[in-house]
Chain A
């Protein structure tokens, strides 16, 4: 099964450190999305790419967050100078812009900032 994969699955860091997460979408999927989920809440949209172009960013994505998708394949999400409020599950999804463009999610990366 070549679903969406994310790495690492868990990350514990100290406040002020930088962290980077990776997402590998389903092969041939040209859209890739990042969401964040805090405890007890549903996922919230952060940003999305169509191929290598970042087309939309939520206001939740502060200046400390940056996402890239070089060559339109895998994507990385970097958080600089982490804060305790960044502790959350970071979810990646991908879709194929054909038909109804259904999004399929990865298992997520759980970030804990101490």
Chain B
């Protein structure tokens, strides 16, 4: 699986949009971009994933650049409960794919 690069930490004011960047410049054509978050002492929570089109669900939006070398996770209206470590992961899709390779992620602090 390709590696990802994320800033170690970010702050966001409560109620504002949180934009979390991820660089995955070596991503291949059959690798998906996944985002998970982990609130302190809990298991990782799935947020969203995408291949090349932008995606939106009830939690967040995922914007993938046209060349697929980077992406941004957007939390439209951050709350204190969004304070967590956010992991960007690229994962091969298809036969033989199974594990998720986590980096250190971005620690997002939502400030009142």
> Which residues does A use to contact B, with CB under 8 Å?
4, 31, 33, 35, 40-45, 48, 55-56, 58, 89, 91, 93, 100-108, 110
B49 touches A45 (CB 8 A): no
State A108–B104 Cα separation when bound (angstroms): 18
Q: Please give, as numbers and ranges, the residues of chain B lying within 8 Å of A4 by CB-CB distance.
A: 43
Give me the interface of B with A, judged by CB distance under 8 Å. 32, 34, 36, 41-46, 49, 87, 93, 97-105
**What would 7 A/B residue contacts be, using CB atoms closer than 8 Å?**
A43-B44, A45-B101, A56-B98, A100-B93, A103-B46, A104-B46, A106-B43
Excluding A33-B98, A33-B99, A44-B102, 18 further A-B contacts by CB distance (< 8 Å) are: A31-B98, A41-B104, A42-B87, A43-B44, A55-B98, A56-B99, A58-B99, A91-B44, A93-B44, A101-B97, A102-B46, A105-B36, A105-B46, A106-B43, A107-B42, A107-B43, A108-B41, A108-B42
> What residues of B have a CB within 8 angstroms of the CB of A56 in the complex?
98-99
Closest to A41 in B: B104
A56 nearest CB neighbor, chain B only: B98
Known: A91-B43, A107-B43, A108-B43. A100 touches B49 (CB 8 A): yes
Shortest Cβ gap from A98 to chain B (Å): 12
- Chain B residues, Cβ within 8 Å of A108: 41-43
Known: A100-B49, A102-B49. A45 touches B43 (CB 8 A): no
Smallest beta-carbon distance A50→chain B, Å: 8
Q: Once the chains are docked, how many angstroms separate the CA of A4 from the CA of B42?
A: 12
- Most central of A4, A42, A44, A102 by chain B CB within 10 Å: A42
The chain A residue with its CB closest to the CB of B51 is: A100
Q: How far in angstroms is the closest Cβ of chain B from A34?
A: 10
- Whether A45 contacts B99 in the complex (CB less than 8 A), given A100-B93, A104-B46, A108-B43, comes out as yes
Determine if B49 and A105 form an interchain contact, defined as CB atoms under 8 angstroms apart.
no
B2 CB to nearest A CB, Å: 15
Which residues of chain A are near B41, meaning CB under 8 Å?
89, 108, 110
**B residues in contact with A42, CB < 8 Å:** 87, 102-105
**Which single residue of chain B is at the shortest CB-CB distance from A105?**
B43
